[in-house]
Each structure stands twice: as C-alpha cells, then as structure tokens.
Amino acid sequence: MALEEKREKRPPVTPMMIEEEAALRNGSRGLPPGPWAEAAGPRPRTTERHIAVHKRLVLGFAVSILALLAVTMIAVLLSVRFEECGAAADGPPRAGGNGSLSGTARQPPGAGQPPGRPQEEKEEARGGEAAVAAEEEEEEEEEWQRRRELPPWARPRLPRHLRPLHYNLMLSAFMENFTFSGEVNVQLEVRNASRYIVLHAHRMHIEAVRVAEDKLAGGVRVARSFFYPQTQVFVVVLNRSLEVQRSYNLKIIYNALIENELLGFFRSSYVLHGERRFLGVTQFSPTHARKAFPCFDEPIYKATFKISIRHQATYLSLSNMPVETSVFEEDGWVTDHFSQTPLMSTYYLAWAVCNFTYRETVTRSGVVVRLYARPDAIRRGSGDYALNITRRLIEFYEDYFKVPYSLPKLDLLAVPKHPYAAMENWGLSVFVEQRILLDPSISSISYLLDVTMVIVHELCHQWFGDLVTPVWWEDVWLKEGFAHYFEFVGTDYLYPGWNMEKQRFLTDVLHEVMLLDGLASSHPVSQEVQQATDIDRVFDWIAYKKGAALIRMLANFMGHSVFQMGLQDYLTIHKYGNAARNDLWNTLSKALKKVGKSVNIQQVMDQWTLQMGYPVITILGNETTDNVIVISQERFVYDSDAKPKDPALGDNSYLWQIPLTIAVGNTSHISSEAIIWVSNKSEHHRIPALEEASWLLGNINQTGYFRVNYDIRNWKLLINQLTRNHEVISVSNRAGLIDDAFNLARAGYLPQNIPLEIIRYLSEEKDFLPWHAASRSLYPLDKLLDRTENYNIFNEYILRQVASMYLKLGWPTNNLNKSLVQASYQHEELRREVIMLACSFGNKHCHQQAATLISDWISSNRNRIPLNVRDIVYCTGVSLMDEDVWEFIWMKFHSTTAVSEKKILLEALTCSDDRNLLNRLLNLSLNSEVVLDQDAIDVIIHVARNPHGRDLAWKFFREKWKILNARYGEALFMNSKLISGVTEFLNTEEELRELKNFIKSYEEGAAASFSRAVETVEANVRWQRLYKEELFQWLRKSLTH
C-alpha cells in the first residue's frame, strides 16, 4: 500500500514510454533500435548566475587553483583505495566515489565471508562527499520532475538504452556456511547515450563496480551507485554518458546467501546413510536471477553466458552447458569452466552444486542425456524410466518441429525441494523428486502418468520458451500453453493407445480450466503486465490450461498437418530470439494461405486471448420454421450477481468468433459434422434432415473452448439416446454432455435434475472418460452438500448409479510382478474410478475390502495392496479405522524412501475423521524437517476437502497466514493454489463473512486470488440458497420410484 501511494505521487509516464511498451508487446522478429532507445538522455544544465571577475584577479585565482590541485593529488596518492559503493543491499542511495571502481557495501545479515576476505567491513563517512552527493541527487530529482518523467530506475521496466551482449560469470560456492561470491562481467551495447546503467540486483552485497570501454585501457569513472528496492534494480551513475554504438564492460563483484527458501540460488538437503547432505540449486523464473547475479532480468534481453563455478572437490557442479575444463587446486577446491551458451534469457539460466550421481543415454542425433539424483535413487534405478522416455521425446520433438535440439546435452536433475513440479532450464531441467523418480515395483499407473506428462511438458519448453522466448510475461501462455498442450500429444507418442489428446485432455484440462474461467474475476489469457508484482499472477491455470485449450481448438479448425507446418515455420523464423502472439498468428495465417485457405488467425484469436471467460452457445429449435435453428452466444458465468472485474465491460459486450461444429442424430445414427462460424449474438441457421425425433449435438468431440446448451426438448432426446444406445454419441461427447450439464445447472442455466438424469446411463458405460467426467463433476456438488442435513439422500442416489458397475469390475489383483504399463490402461483406470466413487460414497463392500487390505498389511508387514488403488485404500482405511491405523501410516510415511509412496501416505493421513489427528497433522505440516515445504500446501488443502477438517483447515490458514505468505508468497501460483484449495468449498453465510473480514485485515498480497475466492464462496452460498432444495426434492422423488 505504501508503495502504491508513493507511485501515485511520481510524475506521469510519458507517451513515448507507452509507445515503447506497446512496441515490445506487439513483438517483431528483430527489434530495431527504436524500442531499445532511452526515452530521454541527460540534458546539459545551464546556470542562471553570471559572476563578473576583474581581469586583475584572474591570475591570482589561477594560482590558487593550481595550488589546490597539487594538495589534492598528494592526498589521493597517500590514500589510494577502492571507493565505497553507493548503498548497502536494498539500502537507500548514498554517496560513492568518483573513481571507475567503487567498493564494499553492507553484507546480508548472517552471510559468511569467503576465505581470504576480511570479516569486518570498513566504512567511512565523508561529510563533504555526502553533502555533494545529496546536492547532486536533489538536482537530479528536480531535473526528472521538470521533464515530467520517472527516473529510469523507478520505471517498471528496465530502460532500453543498453543491451547486454555477453555475461562472463564466475562463482564460488561455500556450502559449509551457505554463502557464495561472484564476479560478473557484462559486455554492454549502447543504443542511446546515457550516464546511467540500470540492471536488476536483489538481496546481495555489492563489493565493487567497474565500467570500462572495450579495447581501451581507460575506465569510465563511477560517480556513485545505489540500490533501488522498489524495482529491485542496482543503479550505476557515471561521470559521463556512454557513447552510442560503443561497447562497454560492466564488472561487479558481489556476494550473497545460498538461501533456505525456494527461489534464486537456494539450498536443499537429503539424508543418506544417516548423514544429512546439502545441495545448492537455482530457480530463476520468472524474476529471481537477480538474486543470484546482477543482470538484465527481462526475457527480451537475450545474451550469451560463460559460467565458471568454484566449489569443494567433494561436490560436482552443473550448468546449462557441458564442462569445458576443470581446474583442481591443492586446497581441495575445483573450478569448473562451462562452454558458452547460445543466446538466451536470464530466467532459464541455471546451475547446481551437489554430490549426486547419474546415469546417461544418447539420442540418435548425439545429444547426451543424463539424470542426476541422490546416489541411492540412482542405484535403485528410480530414474531409469525418466531417462529412457527423455531420449525418445527429444527424438519425437526434433521430428515434429523439424528443428534440432540446440545444445550438446540435457541434464535432468531430481531435487528434494523445489517450488514447482519442474523448471525447464535450457540443458539443465530441474524436477522435484516426486515428478521424475519412479520405482516400478510400487508406482501406480496414475503416478507413471504424472511423471510422464511433467517430463513431456518440460522437454517441449526446450523449443517453446528456451529456443523461442516470449517478448514479455503477458504472453507467458505462448510457452506454457504449448507445453501443456504437448503434454498430451507427446504422451500419445509414447503410449498411442491411451488417446490422451482426444480424451483425457477434456477432463484434465478443458473441464478444469472452465471452472476457473467461468468466474467474473477471471482474466484474459494475455493480460497486461506492468509491475514486477503483476508477473507472478500471470502464471496460473488460465495461462497453462486455457492456453492449451485454445491451441487445441486452433489446431482442430486449421487441420493438424497445417498447424504442425505453421509451428515449424514459427520456430525456424524466431529461434534464439523472442516472439509475441502476433508473430504466431501471422505465421499460422501464412501456413493456411499455403494450402489455399484464407483465415485471419489474429482476428479470430484476439477475441479468445484478449477477452476473459468463454461463451455458452445456446441452440434452440425454431417452432415456426422447419429445419431452422437459432444459435445465440453469451458469456458463461457461475454467479450472474457477481460484479465484473471491469465494470465498464458488461457481460453483454463480450463477443467471440466461434467455430461451432454440429451434427444431427437419431436412435441409430449420427450425421457427419458441419462447421458454423458464429460471430453474432444471435443467428438463424438452416440444418438439413432435422426431423421430429432427431436431436442436435454441438461442439463435436469438445474441440472448442465453450459450453453448449439446448432447449429442454433436445436435452430429453439426448438423455433418451444415452439410455437406449449411448455408443451412437462419441466417448468425448458423452463426457462433454455430462460436464456441460452439471456446470450449466450449477450456474442456473438448466434445471438441477438434468445432469442427474444424464448419469443414470452410466451403469452401462464401459469407457473410462465419461466416468471420469462424472466423477469430476460430482466432486464439487458433493462438497456443496456434504455438511447438509439431507446429504444421505444425495449419497444414496450416487451409490445406486455406481453399484452395478462396481460389481461388474470388481477389484484388481495384486500386480507387483506384472509390467507397470499394462495394455489395459483404459480398463484399469475405469476400475479405479468406480472403486474411488464406491468407497467415497460409502459402498459397504468397498469399505470392507479396504479395511481387510489395510489389516493384512499391518499384521503381515507386507503390502499386498494393488498399486493402482493404494491411495484409495489408504485413505478409506484411515477414515474408517482407529488411531492405530493413522499411526501406522504415519510411521510408514517416515520410513519409506520411495517418493511416490511417500506422497500418497501423506495424503492418506488427511482422510481421518478424528479432528485431533487432523489438527496435529496441520501443525506438523509447517515443520520442514517433517513435511517438505512444497508438500505442506497439499496437506492443508486435503484437510480442507475433508468435511471433518474443513473448518480446521480454514482456521489454521487464517492463524498461520503470515507464516504461509512469507514462505510461499513469491513462488508464483503456490499461494494461489493454497488460497483456492482452502476456500473453494466454504459455502455458508458465516464462512463468507469470515473470508471477507480476513481479507480486510490483510491488505497486501494475493489480491487476485482472494478476489476469486470471495466470488467462488459467494457462488456457493447463492447455489445453496437458490437450488439446494430443488435438487433434494427431485432426489426424494427419484429414489421413491
């Protein structure tokens, strides 16, 4: 809040600055000098005073000056030293020296000094210098005020007058006291004259700064330097302007902590043979490279990097490129010099210092792939699966994109602690252990699928993100949307029978993101990013999943082969550079033109990427005219009472160009699909062969990013078709009808009974996808009802729909000796889904079976529970049985070393009905020695999903918010995930009041996430008020028939 108040008092941003931002957002293949140019260079000052000097005084004055210069030179010779740096880390500006090299700033609290450096810093206060500096700063401020501009260091983006060409970065890592020292030499190209060098640096101690012109002996004198914490920049003020089209070298010597957190250069640990071992690893995306070295930390500033890391010989070091040479020292230290990188952005630069071991393989094109992990995990072969599919996936992407992988090697690094599932650093991808290590003897198909898709995602980034990088963070979906889409395409390559892109994409991406994007507080997939604080909020499921869904829609209406050709051209044109969304649209439009189609992709897709939300298409029969239907579109929102994010933009002003595929069917046949481009609020269309008993089906196979509603007559015909012969309608559309019906009813577009009538046919459904869609749709409805008096009525209805299929499928046999990847993936996933529903809703046989399996494990100490249902059995056993079972699972959680098993054991502990145990677990979750930082969030969320623990988790969240926000506040969507997970199923007026009061008391941080939380809870309360009784009335009537 204080920062915002200060910002309001600053001079307004000039039109030129706005034009610079617009130019960068629109993007182009090459950036002309214009966008890089400084808005305004320093202007010469003139003095208004004129002093008349008598000619006879001139000689005396000159003699006095010469004497003063002589005395000054003697003083300088007697006290040659490095000048003090202008400010301590994150401190206010203060005076520095006039030399080209400026010296020490205050060290971060607790940082150890590297060997050979003095422990105490020498600081002197020069009254005269301070006065001069203060006067200069005051004059400078006045000058910027006169220009009506922000100083270059106060702007949200770095000024464009400099461009880094190359970094030479030398690091020394001191793992015994978790500090590191560094020296960075940056070769700078001057695009516009300026006496300021502004670059990012945060939470570090600057020891010295030097600026020199390349190929010349003389330096450029540094007047002073200072940190500006509001924008996380370090400013070097020079005595003279840097000259245009000249190249200069900026040298900075610094040191900092290897932090005990999750961002920048941070430390992690693991236990091997009873000994705790430490490692250091980086996480720079999106804006944390500045914590590890001073740099131009924006994606547009691509440069080459030459990295050297000095460390103890008991460790090894890794970076983006292979080690070129290693120099061993007599004192047990070694320096690894890495090869120079290609042009790249700072956010996917990486390094690690660890004592891991590895296994390797080589692709057909000669790329060396290594997987590094804890020695015991490598010895067990836990990384073999990931290593093998990585080799195959690199070959797949090289073939699909027709662009070779750009580096000589790719290392996969499995670390115990990491803020995200993985990070796509070019040539050194980092994964949290749970998302890459896999033990075939104790890993389920679901776990294998998770590991597979994370690896597919990160490898896609080696092209989309690393090779071609978004110009700015507003288009982060250009990399994350593609990587998320290719998770399914790449997995289909590995396992062709799994139909991931055509089927599982619907439930895991499309249906999930539509829940979030149906809120009035949503945002466009491309959203404006001005401040550094805005960057974090663009990394959410809208960017990832909506981006992927729009890409899939685009691929389908373009045709997959033309789409692939367009992507090949896009990557070839922009490799080693930056691109914006318009670059993609233009390339795809040209690809369509090559095959004789003329579609303005930008015109179509801007409506989908620059508007928030999505449409609901309503198809109505025309009672007066045969074979004519009325198609209308409007923005879908769950709560029509919710205030829009932008009051000026009401829901009626939203309009999309919608590629609506449509088909006509009857009891035995469905027509081939036709495409109708819907671009108006309401349109009339003639549909041939639309007979009395025919039904209409829109959005065939759910390739479009929208929902479809029908008149009640058409819904009844579709329900009748599903009951009589559901196979006439495709698997994808059966899943789509279920998801659309439940969500249309939840938002009030449909009567509450329609979705419950649709799922009656499931007793005959043998495909996994419709069951999965039903399970996911029932889950939020279950959470709305699970604390109501009449919950048992809903519970009984669901059990009736599940019972017959549960009996048909039965339980899996113990498959410890079978291949992990079974040919019957769809069948096993269907069985798992049905067992989960049966146990969740209280099927007695399911409960007995789970209890028997748990008891057998406890008595024999041999786990014979089938792999694919272990999580279900663990959770059911903990919820049904006594405290001893909870303690047994707790013990197994501590003793197992298999990361996949550890995850499901921890989640099972949250299933207890015992509130004391749930409270105990919540409190233990904040102990990093017991529960890893990234897992604590899942513990809190899973307790919130438990009806016996929802209020406990909500209370715990409020009481511990300061701790939680300090731990996760900077880590992209971790805070957002936590806020959503704890609040999404609150549904009483009292809980809504508590949420609003809590937000009032905490004004700063996660504003967007809390806004979504309020809207979600308001929608829950509204549904309870308007539709709960209607639902129960229909259920009572249905159960009596």
H/E run at residue 117: none
For 210, what's the count of Cα atoms within 13 Å in the CB-facing half-sphere? 15
- 366's tokens: 């000669």
* 941 and 954 Cβ atoms separated by less than 8 Å: no
Tokens of 777: 């749709």
Six-digit token string for 51: 């002093």
Structure tokens at 195: 């006496």
Q: Where are the beta strands (DSSP E) in 303-356?
A: 304-312, 316-319, 323-328, 333-338, 351-354
For residue 973, which of 681, 657, 536, 345 has the smallest C-alpha distance? Answer: 536
CA angle 107/110/114 to nearest 5° reads 65
End-to-end CA distance of the chain: 60
Using a 10 angstrom Cβ sphere, with 0-12 exposed, 13-18 middle and 19 or more buried, the burial of residue 12 is exposed
The strand ranges marked E within 139-213 are 162-174, 179-190, 194-200, 205-213
Within 8 A by CB and 6+ apart from 138, the residues are none
- Kindly tell me the burial class for residue 343, based on how many C-beta atoms sit within 10 Å of its own C-beta (0-12, 13-18, 19 or more): middle
Q: Count CB atoms within 10 A of the CB of residue 889.
A: 24
Cα–Cα distance between 949 and 955 in angstroms, integer? Answer: 10
Cα Rg of the chain (Å, integer):
32
**Which structure tokens are listed for 664?**
């006509």
Type of residue at 152: P
Inter-residue contact 238 to 197 (CB < 8 Å) = yes
Burial 65-102 (b: 16+ CB within 10 A, else e): eeeeeeeeeeeeeeeeebbbbbbbbbeebbbbbebbbb
Scan for tokens 């602690």, then name that residue: 417
Give the Cα separation of 826 and 341 in Å (integer): 44
Determine the Cα–Cα distance for residues 444 and 899; give it in Å rounded to an integer. 12
What is the spatial distance between Cα 69 and Cα 75, in angstroms, rounded to a whole number?
10
Cα–Cα–Cα angle for 550, 552, 557, rounded to 5 degrees:
95
Pairing of strands 205-213, 428-432: unpaired
Quickly list H helices, 786-926: 791-809, 825-840, 844-860, 870-880, 883-895, 899-908, 915-924
- At 265, which amino acid appears? F
674 DSSP β-pair partners: 662
Question: CA nearest 491: which of 550, 441, 521, 448?
Answer: 448
Q: Which sequence positions are flagged as catalytic?
A: 458
Amino acid at 912: S
Angstrom distance (rounded) from CA 464 to CA 608: 20
8 A C-beta contact, residue 815 and residue 867: yes
- Which structure tokens are listed for 217? 């002996």
How far is C-alpha 465 from the geometric centre of its chain's CA atoms? 13
| d(C-alpha 612, C-alpha 522), whole Å | 6
d(CA 197, CA 209): 11
Strands 577-579 and 468-470: parallel
Distance CA 902, CA 917 (A): 18
